[in-house]
Amino acid sequence: MPLARIRRLALPAASLLLLFTAQRPVPPTVAAPAPSADAAPGVAFVDVTRAAGLASFRQVSGGGPDKNYIIEATGSGVALWDYDNDGWLDAYLVNGSTWAALAGREPAPSAALFHNNRDGTFTDVTAAAGVANGRWGQGVCVGDFDNDGWPDLYVTNFGRNRLYRNTGHGTFTDVGEAAGVAVDGWSTGCAFGDYDGDGKLDLFVAGYISLDPAHLPPAPPGAGAAVKDTGPAPSPAPEQRGMGAAYSPGLPYCEYRGQPVMCGPRGLKGAPDHLFHNNGDGTFTDVSVRAGVADAAGFYGFGVAFFDFDDDGRLDLFVANDSTPNYLYRNQGDGTFKDVSYTSGAALDETGREQAHMGVAIGDYDNDGRDDIHVTNFADDSNVLYHNDGNGLFSDVSYAAGIGRPSIPFLGWGTAFLDYDNDGRLDLLVANGHVYPLVDRFDWNTSYRQRPLLFRNVKGRFVEVGGSAGPAMAVAWPSRGLAVGDIDNDGGMDVLINNIDEAPVLLRNDGGHRAGHWLTVRLVGDPARKCPRDAIGSVVYCTAGGVRMRGEVASGRSQLSQSDLRVHFGLGTATRVERLEVRWANGPAVTYEVPAVDRFVVIDQSRGVVEPLVASPR
């Protein structure tokens, strides 16, 4: 062989060898941080998905590994709720869909309702319950809209939404169309809340993008080949791509770090938000425009939360908007809301920048009696923590509080405040995962699968504790929806995460119930006193060890997800509750005596009693 030819071959061969053998740096989104001295000793999250029987569920988003259209990347939410009122949290996992299913060419993937067997395992009861959804599912929220004592389920879709009314017999009926809440289009976050104080739960539904499946924006080059390999019936057909009415050539919005990727949300037309007033007869009326929350600007809504940020007894509304400013609406008490997004400081970050907001957590992390806001964001940007300063003002304290810098490489979705170590201070959990699979092909300091971020609240400042809180916290998943709740009723807050295109992950909190004392409160409201039966919107203040903590009964939140409606307090070393005060939704604050700690109590507004329920630790 001529020498010149050998040389020509040698260089590429060497380069290729280098390519395949070179050690790529492990991005911080995968690599577990060094053990943290700040982690709570003796508390660990353990992945019990398989043992619990939840591993059989597979979330499906598009049907292939590539994410060529934005609908394939948003994943789905999850709910932890007690649908059968047996005192044990059940799980509902929303599912996505495929293009072929959307076109009716194959069965749609099913959502899943798992009944808690009270022994650490769950049974799939989806078919019997009739909550398969069968549409391209996005989000979920829980609320007893008809005040019959049985929690109902609202599921948002890319397509028409569903309102599953709980019959009380383990089955559900989709009454979305009859109730007038089956919004078409692309809905994301939702939340029940009684904004007008009539004792009946109203419903807010966020809209994301006006996307027509028949006129999608261009897929990245090569997507045709990728789609071809994923199944026999790829859709949309190649000739249908492009030139969608919704799409405009906002070219930077179809690229990520110079690489062509799916388009959006920037450059695509936003979908409106909806507020539905509960008429009390099983129907709702869309009052979005009248109430001033219709999203005329067409922002891309994701996470939603009703909460009373100014403590005037009326539920206000926060909407995390992707790539656009958040909405914070102050309830004016006359059926309308005032947009205080900018004046409050909760619309943009501390430098006045818009961020790609996803999920939202509400909680009083510094025990000053006011609700603060945490919002997850895209990668290369920090998550944001808005401290409630009072007087209607919020300050972005992300960096000062310690959650800013660690979150930058992560693309955050579901998030919740929870006191995982029962020390009386709310910690913060974030589920992560990138939207572009191609990030794994580059040394971009990030990854498609990303580990969750657990921040422990150490005297008001958050410290990321990573794998020090159990090996499961060091595992990377492509996560989206996240819900927290005490699945085994042991006093420790557990976590359920819905992963895109994969099985979910159930993280059991081992040791949390021993790390500190605790109290969990279930409220039963009295509709005759204008409080919804499930007491959504009620606030509980628990004083123990001289610390006054705030918790509330809340629908929706996180990333399109629903957490435990019971209110959990970690009490630290305190062995008694000094004061338990309930500010019932639309009602007065009432103080109750709590006989002992480390237990569940039920407080019934109409009977004015506290009923202890003995917990059943493992």
Give DSSP secondary structure letters for 459-499. Answer: TTEEEE-GGGG-GGGG--B-EEEEEEE-TTSSSS-EEEEEE
φ, ψ at 101 (rounded to 5°): -65, -40
Residue 297 sits in the site that holds other proteins (CB under 8 A): yes
For residues 86 and 255, which CB has a smaller minimum distance to other proteins in the complex? 255
Residue 399 sits in the site that holds other proteins (CB under 8 A): yes
Work out how close the CB of 47 gets to other proteins at its nearest, in angstroms, rounded to a whole number: 31
Q: Which of 15, 85, 343, 575 binds other proteins (CB under 8 A)?
A: 343
Work out how close the CB of 352 gets to other proteins at its nearest, in angstroms, rounded to a whole number: 3
CA atoms within 13 A on the CB side of 533: 11
Q: Are 156 and 188 in contact (CB under 8 A)?
A: yes
Work out how close the CB of 257 gets to other proteins at its nearest, in angstroms, rounded to a whole number: 4
Residue 269 sits in the site that holds other proteins (CB under 8 A): yes
Residue 208 sits in the site that holds other proteins (CB under 8 A): no
Residue 390 sits in the site that holds other proteins (CB under 8 A): no
**Residue environment code for 479-504, b if the CB has 16+ CB neighbours within 10 A, otherwise e:** bbbbbbbbbbbbbbbbbbbbbbbbbb
Rounded Cα distance, 90 and 482, in Å:
14
Strands (E), 90-144: 90-93, 112-116, 122-124, 136-143
Work out how close the CB of 595 gets to other proteins at its nearest, in angstroms, rounded to a whole number: 46
Residue 256 sits in the site that holds other proteins (CB under 8 A): yes
Q: Which of 62, 217, 414, 433 binds other proteins (CB under 8 A)?
A: 217
Rounded Cα distance, 40 and 509, in Å:
12
CA R_g for the chain: 24
Residue 404 sits in the site that holds other proteins (CB under 8 A): yes
For residues 330 and 568, which CB has a smaller minimum distance to other proteins in the complex? 330
For residues 98 and 407, which CB has a smaller minimum distance to other proteins in the complex? 407
Residue 592 sits in the site that holds other proteins (CB under 8 A): no
Strands (E), 144-201: 152-158, 162-166, 172-174, 187-193
Q: Report in angstroms the alpha-carbon separations of 295 from 5, 187, 321, 440, 501.
A: 65, 13, 10, 36, 31
Q: Which stretch binds other proteins (CB under 8 A): 42-50, 120-128, 215-223, 531-539?
A: 215-223
Residue 12 sits in the site that holds other proteins (CB under 8 A): no
Residue 268 sits in the site that holds other proteins (CB under 8 A): yes
Residue 325 sits in the site that holds other proteins (CB under 8 A): yes
315 closest CA partner among 179, 150, 202: 202
For residues 118 and 269, which CB has a smaller minimum distance to other proteins in the complex? 269
Which amino acid, 473?
A: M
What 3-state class would DSSP assign to 127? helix
Q: Are 423 and 436 in contact (CB under 8 A)?
A: no
Residue 266 sits in the site that holds other proteins (CB under 8 A): yes
Using CB under 8 A, which residues numbered 450 to 489 contact other proteins? none
Work out how close the CB of 384 gets to other proteins at its nearest, in angstroms, rounded to a whole number: 10
Q: Which of 354, 368, 581, 604 binds other proteins (CB under 8 A)?
A: 354
Rounded Cα distance, 86 and 116, in Å:
9
Residue 105 sits in the site that holds other proteins (CB under 8 A): no
Residue 260 sits in the site that holds other proteins (CB under 8 A): yes
For residues 241 and 522, which CB has a smaller minimum distance to other proteins in the complex? 241
Size of the site for other proteins (CB under 8 A): 59
- Number of Cβ within 10 Å of residue 35's Cβ equals 11
Residue 241 sits in the site that holds other proteins (CB under 8 A): yes
Q: Which of 41, 65, 168, 242 binds other proteins (CB under 8 A)?
A: 242
The residues of the shown chain that bind other proteins, judged by CB under 8 A, are 217-218, 221, 224-225, 227-228, 237-239, 241-244, 247-251, 253-258, 260, 266-270, 297-299, 324-325, 342-343, 345, 347-348, 350-354, 380-382, 393, 399-400, 404-405, 408, 442-445
